[in-house]
Copies of this chain bind each other. A is one copy, B any other.
Amino acid sequence: MTPEKTTLVDIARRAGVSLATASRALNDSYGVAAATRQRVLAVAEELNFVVSPTAAQLASGRTGRVALVVPHISRWFFAAMVEGLESVLSQAGFDVLLYHVDGADDRRDFFHRLPARRKVDAVVVIAFPIGATERERLELMGVTVVAAGGQSASYPFVCIDDRVAARQAVDHLIFLGHRRIAMIAAQDPDEPNWPATPGRSQGYYDALTGAGLPTDDGLVQTIPWGGDAGAEAMAKLLSLREPPTAVYAHSDEVALGAVRTLRRAGLRVPEDISVIGIDDHPLAELTDLTTVHQPVQQQALASGHMLLGILRGDDVERSITMPTHLVVRASTAPPRG
């Protein structure tokens, strides 16, 4: 099956050096004469040889791999994080092992079986809440852990301040003159301690009280994440005796769901009602949705570099919170009248 039975010994022999030297040459470790290395490399090239990562790993103990643990690959935010991390890790010579852990069962299973055990040098949990017991299981792997796009347990992390982001969004609505501001909160029943939710809710209350506005539970809808749910939530808000003049959604997808309901109801956004989201999803730009931008790419890169630094033993910063900012587009305006 495998077309190549070539091994390091063959290379060594052919290059007229010892196995050890060949190994050193191919790993550019210290202590190999330039000429010797050249020769070895040439032979390797010629025979189209690459060392067996497996054997190397068994002998060295390092895997050269890192696991990415993600709750939802196909959602933009997570996919973008994966993309960014993959890029810095692969550039550093690491292979990326992907673990999709979605839902309570999956998660239980993952932490129980620890499928990445003995397979990686580190794991990055992407926007993934980790409880005490889960952390304990992870410890078992005995590897470096970093949290990207959210804080988890007490691992080194890179994230944004969701509370601040939320406040930026709601403050904008208040600034425009809105006083009846609804919130559509995304809270997956499956992942009750999803880290972003509390912050994104708290920021809403912060903003309201900061402006001396009353809070009204009737204006708060809590739904599972997603556009359709957002649409339904908007429908409920619309059926209120006194509907809101503006809606703040925990995410752009949810906000777009709300917009759809409004459009279908014949209401104009933002003339009749304002809508704002969080994230700055690429489609927010396409749909002219006002939102709060969070630097996804940067978080991905920063967490990747943080991980590499830690692995390298450098004394790197282990808690990075990145700024977010309001992006005003065409879905928000002063209230009518």
Contacts and interface: CB of A to CB of B under 8 A. Distances in A.
Given A82-B98, A286-B253, A117 B260 contact: no
A54 B118 contact: yes
Nearest to A281: B283
| Centre residue among A2, A114, A139 by max chain B CB count within 10 A | A2
Nearest to A57: B54
Interface in A63-101: 63, 65, 68, 72-76, 78-80, 82-83, 86-87, 90, 95-100
A271 interface: no
A266 to B, nearest CB: 12
A241 interface: no
Nearest to A50: B117
Nearest to A1: B142
A240 interface: no
Interface residues of A, number: 60
A98 B100 contact: no
A73 B63 contact: no
Given A256-B283, A283-B227, A74 B63 contact: no
A317 interface: no
Contact of A100 (B86, B97, B263): B86
Interface of A: 1-4, 48, 50, 52-55, 57-58, 61, 63, 65, 68, 72-76, 78-80, 82-83, 86-87, 90, 95-100, 114-119, 139-140, 142, 227-228, 231, 253, 256-257, 259-260, 263-264, 282-283, 285-288
In the A-B complex, the 5 residue pairs with the closest CB atoms: A79-B79, A73-B83, A227-B286, A74-B80, A74-B79
9 contacts: A52-B58, A55-B58, A73-B82, A74-B83, A75-B79, A76-B79, A87-B100, A97-B97, A256-B283
